[in-house]
Amino acid sequence: MVQYYGFLLNSQRMLELGIEKGLGSDESFHGRECLRTRAAWDLLAEAEVDDWCTVVNVTTRNGKAYWCIALASTDHRETVYTHRNLPPQHLVDQVKTMLEKPDHVQPMWWDSTF
């Protein structure tokens, strides 16, 4: 199973951001999920980190699924950075700032949902 190193996304915030930007419809489950991922990709593009970060679905220890901005993975085909070659701290800080995460929040390893 692939694991991803990154920040979990606030599902409601991604939905609101997607609606604000007119990225899709929230009228169905599928529409809301597409809207969330489009909003996440849009954030990555705006921050100019979409060439080394990716958006993935991960599962927490309690079994709940979240969208995640992945900075690295255990599979070199999935991300530029891996568990053996983590991204430099300034890039991690750039993504953390973009996501407006508090200082105490750090990226963590998460299991892939799929």
Question: In the chain, where are the structural domains located?
Answer: 3-112
For the chain, residues with pLDDT lower than 50 are: none
pTM for the complete prediction?
0.90
Instruction: Tell me which H or E stretch contains 5.
Output: strand 3-8
- Which residue do the tokens 């929230």 mark? 26
Buried b (16+ CB within 10 A) or exposed e, 14-45: bbebbeeeebbeeeeeeebbbbbbbbbbbbbe
Q: What is the pLDDT of residue 114?
A: 84
Q: What is the pLDDT of residue 55?
A: 95
Q: What is the pLDDT of residue 91?
A: 93
